[in-house]
Amino acid sequence: MPHSWSLDHAGPLTRSTRDAALMLQVLAGHDKLDPATAAVPVADYRAGLDAGIAGMRIGVCRNHFFGRNEVEVERLVDAAIADLQALGARTVHFEIPNLQYGLGAIFAIELASSAAWHDKGLQSGATADMADDVRTLVEIGRLVTAADYLKAEQLRVQLIRDFAKVLEQVDVIVTPSSAVTAWKRGQPSVITGGVEESPLAASWRLTYPYNLTGMPAVSVPCGFDSRGLPAGLQIAGKMFDEATILRVAHAYEGVHRWHEGVPGVAA
């Protein structure tokens, strides 16, 4: 069931980057029955995995992605960036203009898309069986106007251009995957950068820019916080260049082999 056909990213959840490459090799490609897929040749994702990253340009976007994360998450990601430098990569720092408006854009698109998909259920009253938070998100999508939706799409295009311009100067962009590590079930809020916010907002704030732009991204473990909970390093790249982000992820994965660790969560 699609949540938002123009935002959803389909991808495998695996134990290693190599396994992700194997899975994506099967999943990727054009499907004539799916109008959302692109008729673009699929690369051999395994071919360059072991090529290393010496000489590659690693982009670090300091606005939006840094500064409002848990302290330990930021520390672990900064250490991961240092590890990439030690492997021979060069870091390039930059900022993306207009990114602060991305949340409003993705909400307008997501809510309208979700309401459109569930329109029949909305009319029949089937939403009564949904959880309160899910039902609210589905129903308020009907309040998004055509003008709201078009403005959101215009901003989406601008952000795609902004990221494309940066990716002329760097090979990949690295950021934290999530501003926080796992929170307790039912926990009402978390503190990020001294600001209280909902766990949902904190957990997807750093990933939605790539849902909005359609850029490929991968998340790999980059260490554990003091509670034994894993933090993630997110690596994004050019459109249809999954091979490069998997290459960078695989190179980093071999440094500490965090993906073989076990979170310190009580049974």
Strands 190-192, 172-176: pairing kind: unpaired
Asked if residue 93 has pLDDT above 70, the reply is yes
> How many Å is the Cα radius of gyration of the chain?
19
- The tokens for 160 are 């795609």
Question: Shortest CA distance to 170 belongs to which of 253, 53, 251, 44?
Answer: 53
Query: Which has the higher per-residue pLDDT, 237 or 103?
Result: 237
What is the dotted CATH code of the domain comprising 17-30+39-260? 3.90.1300.10
pLDDT at residue 115, as a whole number:
86
DSSP symbols for 57-82: EEEEE-SSSSSSS-HHHHHHHHHHHH
* CA atoms of 87 and 82, how far apart (whole Å): 9
- Token pair 């949340």 is found at 103
HSE value, Cβ hemisphere, 13 Å, CA-based, for 260? 5
Asked if residue 36 has pLDDT above 60, the reply is yes
Are residues 251 and 83 in contact, defined by beta-carbon separation less than 8 angstroms? no
pLDDT at residue 2, as a whole number:
67
Burial of 231 (C-beta count, 10 Å sphere; 0-12/13-18/19+): buried
Residues 101-121: tens digit of each pLDDT: 999 999 999 999 888 888 877
Give how far the C-alpha of residue 56 lies from the chain's centroid of Cα atoms, to the nearest Å.
21
pLDDT at residue 266, as a whole number:
58
Asked if residue 149 has pLDDT above 90, the reply is yes
Domain boundaries, the chain: 17-30+39-260
Asked if residue 259 has pLDDT above 80, the reply is yes
- Collapsing DSSP states into helix, strand and coil, what is residue 172? strand
What's the helix, strand, coil split of the chain in %, to 5?
Answer: 45, 15, 40
Question: Shortest CA distance to 76 belongs to which of 219, 239, 243, 236?
Answer: 219
Asked if residue 267 has pLDDT above 60, the reply is no
- Collapsing DSSP states into helix, strand and coil, what is residue 264? coil
Q: What is this structure's pTM?
A: 0.92
Are residues 53 and 248 in contact, defined by beta-carbon separation less than 8 angstroms? yes
Asked if residue 18 has pLDDT above 90, the reply is yes
Task: Work out the mean pLDDT of the chain and round it to a whole number.
Answer: 92
